[in-house]
Every structure is written in C-alpha cells, then in structure tokens.
C-alpha cells in the first residue's frame, strides 16, 4: 500500500455529522499514525461533555479552549510524528484556529450534504448547536455561513455514499 509518509499533520474539517471521527480513525490506521479528536481532547481536559461545556461556558469560551487543544496537538514547533486530527465542525471557522490548522497541517474538507447530515445527527443529537426547534433551518444557516470558509481547506473530498471506508479511500487517493 502506497501511503503518504511525508505529508505533515492531516486535519479533517467540515460539518458535524460528516464522519470526521470515524474516517479520521481509519485513515490514521492506514497511514500508521496516531489519531486525535479535538472534541475528545476538550472533554478529557475539562471533564465535561462538549454539550455541557457549551451550556456552562458558552460558545466563545469553547472556541478558545478548542484553539488551545488544537494548538497543542499540531501547532508545536517541536518535530513530532505526524498525526491525523478530526476537528470539531466549528474549529476551522474560528480564525485563530484556522490559522494554526492551515500553517501546520494539510487540511481536508469532508463535504457532505444537508440530508445526510440531518439523518445522522438526528439519530443522536449531542450537538449543542442543533438542539433547537428546527435543526434543518439551523443547519442550512450553518452551511451558508461555513461553506465558503471550509472552502479554504487545501483539499476537498466529497463524502462517499455508503460505508466510510470508501471516503477513506478517496482521501488516500487525494493525498497521494
């Protein structure tokens, strides 16, 4: 298997529910790298769920914490083995975090459409931003605001229909 050993850190970005965590974990395995998830790191560091953290501290403080976590994972000048990082859906939309991601990693936008995402998040709505009366309207609003920003990622990969492994293969083709 010809895989990319020489690329920098890989950061998966994109809307909640596209599969960044599952795809990232499998991608890391294929590349022989460590996998990290920024939401998990925040939960470990704060001892709170993402949802709980949002409710207690608000979005601005969450974004600041998210930036610290991402900076610690990929922003260091100390040379460490390259990792695969799944970022929370809003991380790349926060400019200071985006700057870190763009300068220290290969950013890959996993693009999914609204119906797929709605279907997935409605199975288990642990996303504070979608805990509203009309999640579709909220998602549409987020898509409109975020798509142009996600578009700044270096590589764009539409998620495949069916099993995540197909998207993993697409990502591997895209980086080779």
Start-to-end CA span in the chain (Å) = 11
Going by the DSSP 8-state scheme, the letter that residue 36 receives in this structure is E
The region of 102-110, 126-134, 149-157, 159-167 touching ligand S3P under the rule CB under 6 A is 126-134
One residue of 116, 118, 129, 155 binding ligand S3P per CB under 6 A: 129
Written as one string, the DSSP assignment of 134-158 is -HHHHHHHHHHHHHHHHTTSSEEEE
CB count in 10 Å sphere of residue 24: 27
Residue 9 has φ and ψ, to the nearest 5°, of: -50, 150
Closer residue to ligand S3P, CB minimum distance, 106 or 130: 130
- Whether residue 19 contacts residue 167, with contact meaning beta carbons closer than 8 Å, is answered with yes
One residue of 9, 67, 104, 127 binding ligand S3P per CB under 6 A: 127
Judged by CB under 6 A, does residue 39 bind ligand S3P? yes
- Please name which of 173, 147, 174 lies closest in space to residue 18, comparing C-alpha atoms: 147
- Please name which of 162, 158, 152, 174 lies closest in space to residue 113, comparing C-alpha atoms: 158
Q: In this structure, what token pair is assigned to residue 132?
A: 């509203």
Closer residue to ligand S3P, CB minimum distance, 128 or 135: 128
Binding mask 59-78 for ligand S3P (x = CB under 6 A): --------------------
Closer residue to ligand S3P, CB minimum distance, 39 or 106: 39
- Please name which of 69, 76, 122 lies closest in space to residue 91, comparing C-alpha atoms: 69
Closer residue to ligand S3P, CB minimum distance, 8 or 52: 52
- Angle, to 10 degrees, between the axis of helix 59-74 and the axis of helix 95-104? 10
One residue of 89, 139, 157, 159 binding ligand S3P per CB under 6 A: 89
Closer residue to ligand S3P, CB minimum distance, 80 or 99: 99
Judged by CB under 6 A, does residue 128 bind ligand S3P? yes
Q: List residues near ligand S3P by CB under 6 A.
A: 16, 20, 39, 50, 88-90, 127-129
């Amino acid at each position: 298997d010809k895989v990319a050993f020489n690329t920098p850190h890989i950061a998966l970005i994109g809307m909640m529910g596209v599969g960044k965590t599952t795809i990232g974990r499998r991608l890391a395995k294929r590349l022989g790298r460590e996998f990290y998830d920024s939401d998990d790191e925040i939960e470990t560091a704060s001892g709170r769920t993402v949802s709980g953290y949002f409710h207690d501290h608000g979005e601005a403080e969450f974004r600041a914490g998210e930036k610290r976590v991402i900076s610690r994972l990929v922003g260091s000048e100390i040379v460490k083995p390259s990792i695969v990082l799944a970022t929370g859906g809003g991380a790349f939309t926060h400019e200071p975090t985006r700057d870190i991601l763009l300068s220290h990693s290969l950013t890959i936008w996993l693009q999914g459409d609204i119906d797929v995402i709605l279907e997935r998040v409605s199975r288990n709505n642990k996303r504070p931003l979608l805990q509203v009366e009309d999640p579709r309207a909220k998602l549409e609003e987020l898509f409109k605001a975020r798509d142009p920003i996600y578009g700044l990622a270096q590589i764009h990969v539409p998620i495949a229909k069916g099993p995540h492994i197909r998207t993993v293969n697409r990502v591997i083709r895209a980086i080779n």
